[in-house]
Amino acid sequence: MAFVVCCFIVTAFQADIDLTDVLAGIVPSVPGGVDSALMIAAILGGAVHITIIGMHTYNTNVRKWTRSDLGLARFDNTLSMGFAFGIYSLAVYLVAAAVLHPNGIEIKLATDAALSLGPLLGKGAMAIFLAGLWAATLSTISPTFLAGAYFISDKMGWPGDPSDRRFRYVIFAGALISIAGPFIKGSFFLLLPIMLAFGLCGTPLIIGIILYLLNKREVAGEFRNSATLNVLGFLTLAVTTIVAVRFILVKLGIIF
């Protein structure tokens, strides 16, 4: 998967990318239609999904991180969300815009994205992309099972320790259920953006709770949010709320 990401980054440097167009693309725009509402919510849900935020809290508890580990936590977030997720997402978007769009190639299937790697990898683009897609599937679905085990263990009053037998049983049950996925009629790849979009609908709630706790002196103490962090946090809350509400209203047919 890392190799495929590197290929997208290299292709982004090789592609004929107009800086003016890139800067123009930064200006927010909201295209109409159900498909755009779904994809916007799914892309944002992939970055700030309620499962990701919730599981991160459980992971820090299991690792027994305390305030003395704040430096490590910041490094972890910066490396994973800022660099890994941010850089490769930007590279994929730039490559798609510079390679696929000018050639009139429309993405209809997940594998169509491999066409953008053709200039770099040639005939091997599809095979390498599929290998990366398979790895990405495993890296996505595995934490989902882990998150479910954390949530259920917390609800049941179990330790929430991955070494606990009940914790492992929950993960195994999730894996058994997911076996039916490939046999669902239609393309099961299309279920991923739907899952991410619906997960985004719960994101504003957990962000609101976290912002509330990080501003309480009796909870955060000297580590309370600064004004800058609050501005960024409430901006994230506002954006996720607007996108989630729009997705729900479009799905209900209230707006178009």
Summarised one tens digit per residue, pLDDT across range 206-244 is 899 999 999 999 988 888 999 999 999 999 999 999 999
Q: How confident is the model at residue 188 (pLDDT cuts 50, 70, 90)?
A: low
Distance CA 16, CA 256 (A): 35
Amino acid at 151: F
Residue with tokens 């592609």: 15
**Mind listing the pLDDT tens digit for each residue in 139-185?**
777 888 888 899 899 899 998 888 899 999 999 998 888 887 777 76
pTM recorded for the entire structure: 0.77
Other CB atoms within a 10 A radius of the CB of residue 163 amount to: 8
- Which residues make Cβ contacts (< 8 Å) with residue 199, sequence separation at least 6? 45, 49, 50, 51
Please report how many Cα atoms fall inside a 13 Å half-sphere around the Cα of residue 152, on the Cβ side.
16
Burial of 202 (0-12, 13-18, 19+ CB in 10 A): middle
Four-point Cα dihedral 232, 238, 240, 243, nearest 10: -140
Q: Which of 212, 193, 146, 235 is nearest to 44 (CA)?
A: 193
| pLDDT on residue 49 | 79
Q: What is the mean pLDDT of the chain?
A: 84
Distance CA 81, CA 59 (A): 16
Distance CA 194, CA 212 (A): 29
**Mind listing the pLDDT tens digit for each residue in 28-60?**
777 777 778 888 888 888 778 788 888 888 888
Residue with tokens 């954006």: 239
**Mind listing the pLDDT tens digit for each residue in 88-127?**
888 888 888 888 777 777 776 667 778 888 878 888 888 8
Please report how many Cα atoms fall inside a 13 Å half-sphere around the Cα of residue 63, on the Cβ side.
14
Please report how many Cα atoms fall inside a 13 Å half-sphere around the Cα of residue 149, on the Cβ side.
25
> What per-residue string of b and e applies to 187-199 under the rule 16 or more CB within 10 Å gives b?
eeeeebbebbbbb
